Copies of this chain bind each other. A is one copy, B any other.
Amino acid sequence: MKSLDRIFDNRRVMKSAQGSPSATIAGTPSLSSLFDLVSDEMSLVEDWLKSNLIDDNTFVEELLKQIFHAGGKRIRPLIVLLSSKATARETGKLSRLHIILAVLTELIHTASLVHDDVIDKASVRRGQETINKKWNDRIAVLMGDLLFAQASICLARIMNPVVVGIYGQVLGDLCSGEIKQMRQQFQTKVDWDAYIEKSVGKTASLFSAGSHSGAILNGCSNETIQNLKDYGLNLGICFQIVDDLLDITGSQKETGKAVGSDLRNGVVTAPAMFILEAGDANSARLKELIDTRAICEDAGAEEALAIIRNNGGVEKTVDLARSYADKAIESLKDIKDSSYKDGLATLANYVMTRTT
């Protein structure tokens, strides 16, 4: 699945080309060209992540370094920086507060990954051993807490009560999104509202906070702030749907986790939901595999993956993800033109093509 867009869609590229400055880009959008737009600021963010972390304890410092040197795509800081630059009074000019905002957004994301790995008993992340695998669950719980704490300190430094409120809500959404997912495991009743709501909690809430908080700091109009909030929300939902898709179509080498691992854990997402709601023989068989927990074993998982792949589960999910990418791009239409605005639109197209 090198590029979902290229494989599945001329129609969709046509559709998203309407009224969007960057949707005319053909093929795979380049992420590196987006990072070029914010290169100075991103290196400040990297410096901060790798050095400005609380703690005088050498062991903790080592762990933190390990976490941030392991990399990560830095999509969330990119969203913060692009949207902040697109709405800066003097276009492209940011303050120290915007850098802190980008750092804090990545810290929250990283903290939640460290805890997710404990929750999922994951052993590999970003090509490296997870903290829980290399050390133990105790260290991983505390390191996640420490990263959340570091994020709280960043939030304090921003000194904007509205932004503090937004990020506080994100923290709540992240947890309740995960708990909702946990409670929905092995459920075969299709509930799209619950699925989108869970995706907002797990992913889109933070994307949205990152996409519109910079505009708040820039003193933008409520309309601009709302547009960027919608952009992040839709982009985040799209991102989560693509994540769910990669569980079905991705390669272990690229995603770093076994194909179908969500499915094996009973996490029923869009690709399976499209099959389940069809009401045919495939629906019945997939439901049976889930209900009997056969899906947790190799043979059952393989059969479920084949049913999903061979009956339009993937294509329908791509369409669903694309509809949110389009909504994200559409949300940008009243933002004043700039290379940064174009960058945000390109990012939405990139999210559709990502393989990791």
Contact = CB atoms under 8 A, between A and B. Distances in A.
Interface stretch (A20-28, A136-144, A228-236): A136-144
Interface stretch (A7-15, A41-49, A157-165): A157-165
Interface stretch (A174-182, A290-298, A347-355): A174-182
B175 A149 contact: yes
A60 B176 CA distance: 8
Report which residue of A144, A168, A169 has the largest number of chain B beta carbons within 10 angstroms of its beta carbon: A168
Contact of A165 (B57, B156, B178): B156
A149 B172 contact: yes
B146 A167 contact: no
Contact of A115 (B60, B112, B141, B178): B141
A145 B148 contact: yes
A145 B146 CA distance: 11
Contacts of A174: 145, 149
A57 B180 contact: yes
Interface residues of A, number: 44
Given A145-B171, A152-B171, A164-B155, A179 B137 contact: no
A200 B144 CA distance: 20
A138 B155 contact: no
A137 B149 contact: no
Contact of A55 (B56, B143, B144, B176): B176
A73 to B, nearest CB: 23
A95 to B, nearest CB: 16
Interface string A111-145: 01001001100000000000000000111011111
Interface string A40-80: 00000000000000111101100000000000000000000
A306 interface: no
B168 A153 contact: yes
Contacts of A144: 141, 145
Interface string A243-266: 000000000000000000000000
B138 A152 contact: no
Interface in A212-230: none
Given A119-B141, A176-B54, A156 B164 contact: yes
B168 A155 contact: yes
A203 interface: no
7 contacts: A115-B142, A142-B178, A142-B182, A143-B179, A152-B164, A153-B168, A155-B164
